[in-house]
Amino acid sequence: MPYENPTDEELRALLSSSRTIAMVGASSDPGRPSWGVMKFLLRLGYHVIPVSPFEAEVHGQRAFASLGEIPEPVDIVDVFRRADATPRIADEAAAIGARALWLQLGIFSEEAARRGNAGGLMVIMDRCIAETARALGIDSAAAAHPSPRRTTDL
């Protein structure tokens, strides 16, 4: 049976109640999709933590080399990596106590979904978190309740 993403109502509830998003594969290169998505999420008021061993900071936010190095709770792990890297990321997301694993548009892994679900994560695959937030009207809800930890004003 093929994997099915959560319903729009479940996604709306997740995005409305979440404040901290760890972005695995974040990049300081404006030509990379993660750069624009991170900028959008910061503008909405989310606290976005870049995760990349190749970056010191992205959009003024300190980067961490791995999920395990993040010193605070994470609600959503948003992934901009190849599908073959996602099962390990699902394990790491569960280990840090995240609520959800979000695989960006074009990223699909049944194994990551299985491991994520086994670790208690809501799993979303092949869907852009920014496009989803926009489509569900999250932009106005999140903007009305900005995170106090936000450190940039984009």
So what's the pLDDT on residue 42?
95
Whose CA is closest to 28, among 87, 80, 96? 80
Q: What pLDDT, in 10s, does the model give residues 106-153?
A: 999 999 999 999 999 999 999 999 999 999 998 644 444 444 443 333
- Helix ranges (H only) for the chain are 8-17, 33-44, 86-95, 110-118, 129-135, 138-144
Is there a domain that residue 1 lies in?
no
So what's the pLDDT on residue 93?
98
Is there a domain that residue 107 lies in?
yes
Is there a domain that residue 124 lies in?
yes
Instruction: Using pLDDT thresholds of 50, 70 and 90, give the confidence band for residue 3.
Output: confident
Looking up residue 70, the CATH number of its domain turns out to be 3.40.50.720
Residue 16: helix, strand or coil by DSSP? helix
Q: What pLDDT, in 10s, does the model give residues 14-31?
A: 999 999 999 999 999 999
Q: Which domain holds residue 97?
A: 8-142
Is there a domain that residue 152 lies in?
no
Is there a domain that residue 122 lies in?
yes
Is there a domain that residue 150 lies in?
no
Is there a domain that residue 116 lies in?
yes
State pTM to two decimals: 0.90
Token readout for 33 is 């999709």
